[in-house]
C-alpha cells in the first residue's frame, strides 16, 4: 500500500501522538474540573487506540507504507498488549496528573509506546532501526531525567549503543545473505542456511546478543550494581520496549528459520545451539544471583531466566513454541508489572502481603497460576518441537534455585509484621493483575488460542 492508503491503519499511533501534544500544550493545569476532563480524555483515547488495534486483528495481512510496516493479527495483538501494559503501569501517574513530574514522565512514555507499537509492525530493517532509535532516545531521556548518577547514565548509553551496533551489524549481514531489506522477503532462508548451519548459528548468536542485551544484559547490569530494579521498573519504558523488541524478534526469526521440510535438520542444529547458549545465560544468572539474595535481585533473575526460556522457544520455531513463548513472556511481564505497581513503602499491609504472595507464586509456577501453565506449555511445545531432552531438563533445573528462593521469600513475607495503612486506591491495578495471574492459570485456553491464531498466518 502507498502512503495515503496506509494512513488509516496508523490511527492508534496518531491518537497517541495527539495525546503527547495535548500534554505538552497543557502542562500547568491547576483547575480540577479541566484536569479531570483531561484524564478522562486521555484514558478514552487509550481505550479507543486499543479497540482500533483489536479491530485490525482479523483480516488479510497487508504491507503498509510500501511494505515498511505490516498490518496483521500479530501486530494487532501485540499492540493491544503494549497499550494494556502502558495503562497498567501508568494509571498512577494519570491519577496524579497535577504533579508536573508525572506529565513529563507520561510524555516520554507515550513516545516510547508509539515507537514500540510501530516496532511491532515494522517489516523492514529501515523501519526497525527508526523505531529502535526512537525507543532508545526516549529511554535514555527518561533515565537522564530521573537518575542523577553519571556512571549509571553512561552505562545505559553504552549498552544501548552496543545493542544498536550489534543489531545494525547482524541486519546488514542478513541483508548480505538474502539481498532484501524487507523481513517478508527472507523466504529462501532455509535453503541458504542448509548449506552452512554455522551461518544460522552465527546469526542466532548476534540476534540473541543484540536483543538479549536489552532483556538480559540490562537487568544484569542492575544486578551487578546492586540497584533496586523495582523502582527502575516502575516506568513503563523498559517493559514496553522489551515486549516490542521481543515481538520484533519473533517476526524476524519466523522468516529466518521457517519450518520447511528441507530445513528441519538445520533448524534442529540452530535450535540446539541457541538452547545451549540460553542455558549458559541461565547458569550465569543463577551465579550472579547467589551473590546477593534480595527480593529485587530475585525478580531480575526471574526476568532473565524467563527471557532465556522464551528465546529457546522462539528459535525452536514452531507455532506452539512461539505461542507458548509469548504466553510466558506476557505472564511474566504482567506479574513484574504487578510487583512494580505496588506501593513502594516498607509497610506490609495485609493486601500487599497477599498480592505479593500471589505474584511470587505466579513466578514460581505454582499449579493454578499463569506461571505454571506458561512453563508447562513452553516445555511441552519444546519437547514436541524435538529439542534435546537434556537441554530442556537442564533449562528447567537451572530455574529451580530461583523457584526455591522465591518460596523462601514467601515465607519471609508471612513473617513480616502487618501495619494498617489506608491506601486502597494504590492497590487497584495490582489487585487486577493478581486476579489475572490466578484466572489465567485456570482459564488460559482462550488467551492461548488468541495468541496462536495471531501467529498462524506467518506460516
Partner 1 sequence: MDNHLLLTILVLPIIGTLILIFIRENRVSIIKSVAAIICGLQLWIIIQLLTSFDKTVSYLQFAEHINWINLLNIDFIIGINGINLLYLALAGIVFFTTVFISWRIENQQKSFFILLLLLNGGITGVLIAFDLFLFLMFYGLTLFAMFILVTLFSPQSANFQTGHFGVKALVSFCLIMIGTLIVNNQNPGFGFNLVTFAQNPGLPANVSNAGFILFLIGFLIIAPVFPFHSWLAAAVHETITPVSILLLALFSQIGIFGILHILFPLFPGHAVQSAILFAILGLIGALYYAFSVFSISNFKKIVLYFAGYLNAFVLLGLSALLAIKFQTPDAAFTGLNGAIILSTASGLITLLLLLLPKAYQSVIKDDAINGNRWQLKFMILLVLLAGLGLPGFLIFIGQYLCLSGAFCQISTRIISIFALSGLILIGVQFFRIIRAIIRPDNRFDFFVKTTEIQNEKIIMPMIIIILLLLGIFPESILKYLNQSIDNLMELLTILR
Residues at the site binding partner 1, with contacts judged by CB under 8 A: 364-368, 372, 376, 379-380, 383-384, 389, 392-393, 396-397, 400-401, 403-404, 407-408, 410-411, 414, 445, 448-449
- Half-sphere exposure of residue 54, counting CA atoms within 13 Å on the CB side? 11
Cell of 332: 511474566
Q: For residues 192 and 199, is the Cβ–Cβ distance under 8 A?
A: yes
Which C-beta is closer to partner 1: that of 170 or that of 392? 392
| Cβ 447 vs Cβ 326: under 8 Å | no
Minimum Å gap between C-beta 376 and partner 1 is 7
Q: Which residue has the cell 527472507?
A: 186
Closest contact distance (angstroms) between CB of 79 and partner 1 is 25
Is residue 381 a contact partner of residue 324, using CB atoms and an 8 Å limit? yes
Least distance (Å) from partner 1 to the CB of residue 422? 19
Least distance (Å) from partner 1 to the CB of residue 415?
A: 8
What DSSP designation does 417 have?
P
Select 237 or 403, whichever has its Cβ closest to partner 1: 403
Residues 6 or more apart whose CB falls under 8 angstroms from that of 409 comprise 295, 298, 360
The string of DSSP codes covering 54-101 is: HHHSSS--EEETTTTEEESHHHHHHHHHHHHHHHHHHHHHHHTTTSHH
Question: Coil, helix or strand for 453?
Answer: helix
Nearer to partner 1, 74 or 405 (CB): 405
For cell 493479527, the residue is: 73
Of the two residues 50 and 312, which places its CB atom closer to partner 1 in the complex?
Answer: 312
- Cα gap 250→327, rounded to integer Å: 13
The smaller minimum CB distance to partner 1, of residues 84 and 386, is found at 386
Cβ at position 389, least distance to partner 1 in Å? 6
Residue with cell 510466558: 328
Q: How far is the CB of 335 from partner 1 (least distance, A)?
A: 17
Closest separation between CB of residue 58 and partner 1, Å?
20
91 or 366: CB nearest partner 1: 366
DSSP state of 15: H
- Alpha-carbon span 269 to 260, nearest angstrom: 14
135 vs 358 by CB, closer to partner 1: 358
DSSP, collapsed to helix, strand or coil, labels residue 182 as strand
Cβ closest to partner 1, residue 254 vs residue 448 = 448
Nearest distance from C-beta of residue 407 to partner 1, angstroms: 6
Amino acid at each position: 500500500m502507498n502512503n495515503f492508503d496506509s494512513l488509516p491503519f496508523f490511527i492508534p499511533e496518531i491518537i497517541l501522538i495527539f495525546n503527547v501534544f495535548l500534554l505538552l500544550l497543557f502542562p500547568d493545569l491547576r483547575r480540577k474540573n479541566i484536569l479531570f476532563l483531561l484524564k478522562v480524555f486521555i484514558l478514552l483515547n487509550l481505550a479507543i487506540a486499543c479497540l482500533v488495534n483489536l479491530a485490525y486483528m482479523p483480516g488479510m495481512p497487508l504491507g503498509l507504507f510500501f511494505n515498511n510496516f505490516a498490518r496483521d493479527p500479530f501486530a494487532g495483538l501485540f499492540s493491544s498488549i503494549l497499550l494494556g501494559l502502558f495503562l497498567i503501569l501508568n494509571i498512577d501517574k494519570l491519577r496524579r496528573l497535577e504533579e508536573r513530574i508525572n506529565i513529563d514522565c507520561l510524555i516520554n512514555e507515550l513516545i516510547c509506546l508509539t515507537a514500540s507499537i510501530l516496532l511491532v509492525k515494522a517489516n523492514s530493517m529501515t523501519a526497525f532501526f527508526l523505531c529502535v532509535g526512537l525507543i532508545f532516545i526516549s529511554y535514555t531521556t527518561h533515565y537522564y531525567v530521573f537518575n542523577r548518577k553519571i556512571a549509571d547514565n553512561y552505562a545505559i548509553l553504552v549498552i544501548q549503543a552496543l545493542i544498536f551496533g550489534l543489531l545494525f551489524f547482524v541486519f546488514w549481514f542478513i541483508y548480505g545473505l538474502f539481498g532484501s531489506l524487507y523481513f517478508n522477503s527472507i523466504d529462501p532462508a532455509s535453503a541458504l542456511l542448509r548449506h552452512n548451519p554455522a551461518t544460522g548459528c552465527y546469526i542466532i548468536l548476534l540476534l540473541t546478543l543484540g536483543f538479549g542485551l536489552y532483556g538480559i544484559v540490562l537487568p544484569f547490569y542492575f544486578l551487578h550494581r546492586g540497584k533496586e530494579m523495582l523502582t527502575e521498573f516502575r516506568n513503563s519504558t523498559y517493559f514496553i520496549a522489551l515486549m516490542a523488541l521481543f515481538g520484533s524478534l519473533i517476526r524476524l526469526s519466523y522468516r529466518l528459520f521457517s519450518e520447511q521440510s528441507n530445513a528441519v535438520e538445520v533448524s534442529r542444529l540452530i535450535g540446539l545451539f541457541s538452547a545451549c547458549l540460553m542455558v549458559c545465560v541461565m547458569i550465569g544468572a543463577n551465579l550472579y544471583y547467589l551473590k546477593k539474595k534480595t527480593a529485587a535481585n530475585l525478580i531480575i533473575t526471574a526476568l532473565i531466566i524467563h527471557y532465556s526460556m522464551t528465546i529457546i522457544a522462539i528459535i525452536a520455531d514452531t507455532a506452539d513454541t512461539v505461542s507458548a513463548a509469548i504466553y510466558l513472556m506476557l505472564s511474566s511481564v504482567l506479574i513484574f508489572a504487578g510487583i512494580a505497581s505496588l506501593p513502594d513503602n516498607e509497610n506490609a499491609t495485609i493486601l500487599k502481603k497477599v498480592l505479593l504472595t500471589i505474584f511470587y507464586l505466579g513466578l514460581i509456577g505454582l499449579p493454578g497460576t499463569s506461571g505454571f501453565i506458561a512453563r508447562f506449555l513452553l516445555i511441552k511445545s519444546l519437547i514436541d518441537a524435538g529439542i534435546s531432552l537434556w537441554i530442556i531438563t537442564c533449562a528447567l533445573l537451572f530455574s529451580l534455585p530461583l523457584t526455591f528462593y522465591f518460596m523462601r521469600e514467601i515465607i519471609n513475607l508471612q513473617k513480616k509484621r502487618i501495619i494498617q495503612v489506608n491506601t486502597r486506591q494504590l492497590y487497584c491495578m495490582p489487585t487486577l493483575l493478581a486476579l489475572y495471574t490466578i484466572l489465567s492459570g485456570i482459564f488460559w485456553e482462550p488467551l492461548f488460542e488468541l495468541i496462536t491464531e495471531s501467529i498462524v498466518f506467518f506460516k
